[in-house]
Amino acid sequence: MLRLDVERLEESWQGQRDDRLELLRRLVDTNSHFDNLPGIDAERAILRPVFEELGFVVEELLITPADSPRPRAAHLVARRAGRPGARKAMLIAHLDTVFPADEGPSTLRVDGDLLHGPGVGDIKGGVVTILTAAALLADQGRLDDLELLVALNSDEEVGSHSSRGLLRELAAPCDLALGFEPAFHRPEESVERHSIIQHVIRRKGCGREFFHLRGVAAHSGGAHDKGASAIEALARKVVDVHALTDYDSGVTTNVGLVSGGRSVNTVAPVAAGEIDFRFATAETGEATARAIKDILQREENVNAELGRAVTCELEPGGGVLWPTLEPTSESEVLSRTVCEATADLGWEAEPIARGGASDAANAAAVGTPAICGLGPVTHGIHTSTEHSSIPALRAASLIAAEVLARLSEPPAQG
């Protein structure tokens, strides 16, 4: 049975639809690549007054990461008190995206019901879903039924180095956490036409390593035997790191970025790379992290005659960055609530597992029940074809509002 009046819910959505699409346009049109700190600052400036209009108290927290030398922008934390004794819900999204500013203009393109643009689903559509759901609840006088805490960090796409501790601290006193990463559809459906909406109850954990190799420069024609190629050492390490992939155990490794060399006619004195690895259990995650470090820190004698090996320096902040998100009896209650609310609104929900990491796992790491994938259904995430749709944004917003209304009620005692 619906907790919200469905006719008023639809009227409220129609009444704010254009404003929410305009907000999404402003967000997508603002490049917020993880290294574009002014862009992320601009994103916060857009969002702050929208949260404040709904009665949220907003903080912007600039935290220097203890385990990474890379500077990051401030995070946005929005709090709204509820009625006395209200349950406390944490809503999680992020400000940063993976799309560099030099890849082209960051613009929202509307094609009928389709919404195209960098970050339109991951994760700007998720942020708009949070705000829309809050407004829908306010229109029915239900926004005070929960104490809401919204966390939008600025470094999710690069490891949550400066926000991991904050997210766990914020999550610890909460009764539940919902992540607004994109939802998914089945292969035979599409972002604009889907009857089944998939949310995420299990995610792989994720780790990263950033490394620099130092070899010995030499002229590639006149003194080749006096050089030690950092690029050759890099190639050996790439092969060995990729060999750690084991689909049966859920481990994947990917050297996704490499660079190196001085010139085409110089034995390469330097090389560098970045590794992403995923894992299904904490044990395989730690084992994979150790194995990768062993490979990277191994000296490579690419020129035995020279007697000088290629050496490696690891950047701070590597290793396991996100834990796995595992179902628990309490998170399964959240998933059932999503399924029931979705069905009562006329769609079908399906809980799934995904390989992508999420900061919902950081909430779960401190014992707070958490699920993810409550943003709009999106396709082509992290690619030039990323797209969502107006129907997907509508569905996600209505479902989120109804789910929050149901979760405001004390859980049934078994």
Residue 309 has pLDDT above 60, yes or no: yes
Give the β-pairing of 348-354 and 196-203. parallel
What is the predicted pLDDT for the residue at 411? 72
Give the mean pLDDT of 245-249: 97
Contacts of residue 45, defined as CB under 8 A and 6 or more positions apart, other chains included, come to none
CA dist 207 and 203 (Å) reads 13
Quick one: 247 exposed, middle or buried, by C-beta within 10 A (0-12, 13-18, 19+)?
exposed
Sign of CA dihedral 299, 302, 307, 312: negative
The model's confidence at residue 413, banded by pLDDT at 50, 70 and 90, is: low
Residue 412 has pLDDT above 70, yes or no: no
CA dist 374 and 114 (Å) reads 19
Can you give the pTM of this predicted structure? 0.91
**DSSP per-residue letters across 52-70:** HHTT-EEEEE----TT--S
Give the β-pairing of 75-80 and 57-61. antiparallel
What is the predicted pLDDT for the residue at 105? 78
Kindly report the number of other CB atoms within 10 A of residue 219's CB atom. Answer: 13
Give the mean pLDDT of 235-264: 97
Share of the chain above pLDDT 90, in %: 92
CA dist 160 and 66 (Å) reads 11
pLDDT digits (tens, 9 = 90+) for 335-394: 999 999 999 999 999 999 999 889 999 999 999 999 999 999 999 999 999 999 999 999
Residue 104 has pLDDT above 90, yes or no: no
What is the predicted pLDDT for the residue at 366? 97
Residue 291 is classified by DSSP as H
Per-chain mean pLDDT for the chain? 95
The model's confidence at residue 46, banded by pLDDT at 50, 70 and 90, is: very high
The model's confidence at residue 106, banded by pLDDT at 50, 70 and 90, is: confident
**Contact (Cβ atoms closer than 8 angstroms) between residue 241 and residue 275:** yes
Which residue type occupies 242?
A: H
What is the predicted pLDDT for the residue at 65? 82
Give the β-pairing of 109-111 and 176-179. unpaired
Give the β-pairing of 87-94 and 176-179. parallel
**Contact (Cβ atoms closer than 8 angstroms) between residue 314 and residue 211:** yes
Residue 68 has pLDDT above 90, yes or no: no
Sign of CA dihedral 131, 137, 143, 145: negative
Residue 69 has pLDDT above 80, yes or no: no
Residue 269 has pLDDT above 60, yes or no: yes
Task: Name the H helices within 29-159.
Answer: 37-53, 126-139
Assigned token pair, 357: 């990491």
At residue 217, the 3 state secondary structure works out as: coil
The model's confidence at residue 332, banded by pLDDT at 50, 70 and 90, is: very high
Phi-psi region of 159 (alpha: psi -120 to 50; beta: other; left: phi over 0): left
pLDDT digits (tens, 9 = 90+) for 311-329: 999 998 899 999 999 999 9
Summary count for the chain: helices (H), strands (E): 9, 18
CA dist 163 and 155 (Å) reads 7
Assigned token pair, 307: 């007697």
**Contact (Cβ atoms closer than 8 angstroms) between residue 36 and residue 283:** no
Quick one: 156 exposed, middle or buried, by C-beta within 10 A (0-12, 13-18, 19+)?
buried
Share of the chain above pLDDT 70, in %: 99
Assigned token pair, 340: 């029931």
Residue 414 has pLDDT above 60, yes or no: no
What is the predicted pLDDT for the residue at 64? 87
